[in-house]
Amino acid sequence: MERAFWHKRRVLITGHTGFKGSWLSLWLARLGAEVTGYALAPPSEPSLFELAAVEDGLEASITADVRDGERLARAVEDAGPEVVFHLAAQSLVRESYRAPADTYATNVMGTVHLLEAIRRTPGVKAVVVVTSDKCYDNREWVWPYRENDPLGGHDPYASSKACAELVTAAYRASYFDDPAAGDRPAIASARAGNVVGGGDWAADRLVPDVARAVAAGDVVHLRSPHAIRPWQHVLEPLAGYLLLAERLAGDGREWAEAWNFGPEERDARSVGWLVEQLAARWHGELRWTRDERSHPHEAHTLKLDSSKARARLGWRPRLSLERALDWLVEWYRAHREGADLGALTRAQIARYEKLPPAP
* CATH number for the domain harbouring residue 235: 3.40.50.720
Is there a domain that residue 329 lies in?
Answer: no
Question: Residue 70, class by beta-carbon neighbours within 10 Å (0-12 exposed, 13-18 middle, 19+ buried)?
Answer: exposed
What's the rounded mean pLDDT across residues 118-145? 94
Is there a domain that residue 309 lies in?
Answer: yes
Nearest of 79, 75, 19 to residue 51 by alpha carbon: 19
Is there a domain that residue 19 lies in?
Answer: yes
Q: What is the pLDDT of residue 182?
A: 59
Q: How far apart are CA 179 and CA 347, in angstroms?
A: 43
Q: What is the pLDDT of residue 180?
A: 56
Per-residue pLDDT at 318 exceeds 60: yes
Average pLDDT, the chain: 94
Rounded to a whole number of angstroms, the CA Rg of the chain reads 19
Kindly report the CA angle at 126 between 125 and 129, in degrees rounded to 5? 150
Task: Identify the helix (H) or strand (E) that includes residue 85.
Answer: strand 83-86
- The model's pTM is 0.96
How does pLDDT run across 239-259, given as a tens digit for each residue? 999 999 999 999 888 999 999
Lowest mean pLDDT among 36-40, 47-51, 113-117, 200-204: 200-204
Is there a domain that residue 183 lies in?
Answer: yes
Domain that holds residue 316: 3-199+231-265+304-324+341-353
Q: What is the pLDDT of residue 295?
A: 62
Q: Calculate helix-pair angle for 341-353, 321-336, nearest 10 degrees.
A: 160
Q: What is the pLDDT of residue 39?
A: 98
Q: How far apart are CA 152 and CA 340, in angstroms?
A: 42
Lowest mean pLDDT among 73-77, 100-104, 199-203: 199-203
Per-residue pLDDT at 181 exceeds 80: no
Q: What is the pLDDT of residue 294?
A: 66
How many distinct structural domains can be found in the chain? Answer: 1
Confidence of residue 183 (pLDDT cuts 50, 70, 90): confident
Q: What is the pLDDT of residue 1?
A: 80
Is there a domain that residue 225 lies in?
Answer: no
Q: What is the pLDDT of residue 268?
A: 94
Is there a domain that residue 204 lies in?
Answer: no
Per-residue pLDDT at 292 exceeds 70: no
How does pLDDT run across 83-109, given as a tens digit for each residue? 999 999 998 888 999 999 999 999 999
Q: How far apart are CA 341 and CA 357, in angstroms?
A: 26
Percentage of the chain surpassing pLDDT 70?
A: 97
Is there a domain that residue 145 lies in?
Answer: yes
